[in-house]
Amino acid sequence: MTKLEENIIIIGGLHHNTLGVIRSLGEDGIKPNNMIIVLIGKHINKKNIISKSKYTTEENIAYLDSDSEIVSWMLEHKQEMKSSCVICCSDGSAEVVIKNHKLLKDYYLIPGLNMNVEQLMDKSVQNEIASKVGMNIPKNIIVSVDQPFEWDLFPCITKPIKSVEGGGKADIHIINTNDELKEVLPTISAKHIEIQQYVDKEIEYQLIGCSLNAGETIIIPGFTTILRQPPNTNTGYLKYSPISELNYDKKVVEDFIKEIGYSGLFSVEFIRDKEGIDYFLEINMRNDGNAYCVKCAGVNLPIIWCSFLLGKDITNLKKDISKSVYFIPDFIDVKMGIESVGFIKWVYQFFAAKSHSLYSIRDMKPFLFVFKEYLSILIGRLINKGKR
């Protein structure tokens, strides 16, 4: 195994995405003192799931109010953290770091792109490139929510054209009629949205990987399929399987990444309809929220990314996975899971899953911290109910 002693900067929100990267590094021997965590979000309590992890130290966690502060923070610390590897765990942090590549590249080892990142964060631009390399795209239009337009294909789905703008996932709606669309539009925070054909899906899946040298080497060890999906997110109960089990030519994904010249961790999302046709949804140019399952299956993408940046030999790290693992998003899945399969089977699924968003027998404090919060809320509700 490649041993790293250099600093690694992990930038993201107070989210299991960030925690998953920390655990991926910590479980493979990266010391807490070599991980600098930059948490983005206003008024984050310093007692949180990240600070509770045994793989972090409180003095190595920086707190910023917004993504706009990332560059100034990195420039302020450029000397003591020179040549540190950078891993982004959110769309906002990835956009800021890649956008300022020229400004930061002499001091940090960072993700890169051969085109304008702000353009590529626009889903319409992604669709155009995906279509160019041979992917299928659901029928769609880009509209201003306050301007007239014509659309008559239902059901459909609304999405912000950039994930970092508007209400984010709150702006995602499945619409069945024109009247319903008119009712939803005033509630959307984003100024511009994509209205897209709603695909009656057989499966939804992701290819999670790492691109090195602008797509010269692309590592995609496996794929996820969502088994139980909460609204407006793909972080549900899922199965991560060897890439050899997917009946899809991943070359078009590799062509897409080479076309944009991207270097870094990524995921690409697809839907397969009832007829077996695959549709491109989007690319995420950052560590994916579900990516910890790749580490649990035997391939450590954050280690591969950092090792490559530092000039280490990654020959033995590049491999496909051989067995499937299951990922469960813990508390998010409780209600849906029990309603879907019953309490006993859900408990079995919980403990049978090799990968979790929060639960880890090797790093229990983040899970226990959230468990206590949920328990406190539940007790408070019961007390208030008893007083009525």
pLDDT digits (tens, 9 = 90+) for 293-322: 999 999 999 999 999 999 999 988 888 898
- Judged against a pLDDT cut of 70, whether residue 22 lies above it is answered with yes
Instruction: Work out the pLDDT band at 1, boundaries 50, 70, 90.
Output: very low
The per-residue b/e assignment along 185-219, b for 16 or more CB within 10 angstroms, e otherwise, is beebebebbbbbbbbeeeebbbbbbbbbebbeebb
Q: State percent of the chain over pLDDT 70.
A: 96
Query: For residue 320, which amino acid is it?
Result: D
What b/e sequence results for 152-178 when a residue is b if at least 16 CB atoms lie within 10 Å of its CB, and e otherwise? eeeebbbbbbbbbbbebeebbbebeee
Give the confidence band of 386 by pLDDT, cuts at 50, 70, 90: low
Contacts of 191 (CB under 8 A, 6+ apart): 144, 145, 146, 165, 166
| Residue of 39, 44, 92 lying closest to 68 (CA atoms) | 92
* Residue 12 pLDDT class (50, 70, 90 cuts): very high
DSSP character for 89? -
Residue 230, pLDDT score: 82
b/e map 327-359, b = 16+ CB within 10 Å: bbbbebbeebbeeeeeeeebeebbeebebbbbb
The pLDDT, as a whole number, for residue 148 is 86
CA atoms within 13 A on the CB side of 386: 6
State the burial class of residue 382 (Cβ atoms within 10 Å of its Cβ: 0-12, 13-18, 19+).
exposed
Residue that is written with structure tokens 């990968």 in the block: 355
pLDDT value, residue 379: 81
Residue 167: is its pLDDT beyond 70?
A: no
Calculated CA dihedral for residues 285, 232, 122, 252, nearest 10 degrees: 60
pLDDT of residue 6: 83
**Count of positions (residues) in the chain:** 388
Q: What is the pLDDT of residue 150?
A: 87
Distance (Å, whole) CA 50 – CA 18: 8
Which domains can be identified in the chain, with CATH numbers? 8-119+201-331 (3.30.470.20), 139-197 (3.30.1490)
Phi-psi region of 248 (alpha: psi -120 to 50; beta: other; left: phi over 0): beta
Tokens of 96: 């800021």
Q: If you ran DSSP here, which 8-state letter would residue 121 be given? A: T
Nearest-angstrom CA–CA distance, 294 and 221: 8
Contact between 236 and 329 under an 8 Å Cβ cutoff? The reply is yes
**Distance between CA 37 and CA 152 in Å, rounded?**
47
- Looking at residue 112, what DSSP letter applies? B
CA 377 to chain centre: 28
Tokens representing residue 345 in the block: 């089977």
Residue from 307, 300, 312, 283 nearest 98 by CA: 283
Euclidean distance between CA atoms 184 and 173, whole angstroms: 8
Residue 229 has pLDDT above 90, yes or no: no
pLDDT confidence band for 171 (50 / 70 / 90): confident
Q: State pTM to two decimals.
A: 0.90
Averaged pLDDT score across all residues of the chain = 92
pLDDT of residue 308: 96
Of the CA atoms within 13 Å of residue 154, those in its CB half-sphere come to: 12
Phi (first) and psi of residue 139, to 5 degrees:
-60, 140
pLDDT band at 232 (very low <50, low <70, confident <90, very high): low
Give the residue from 330, 352, 256, 259 showing the smallest Cα distance to 49: 330
The predicted-structure confidence for 89-116, as pLDDT tens digits, reads as follows 999 999 999 999 999 999 999 999 999 9
Secondary structure (3-state) at 268: strand
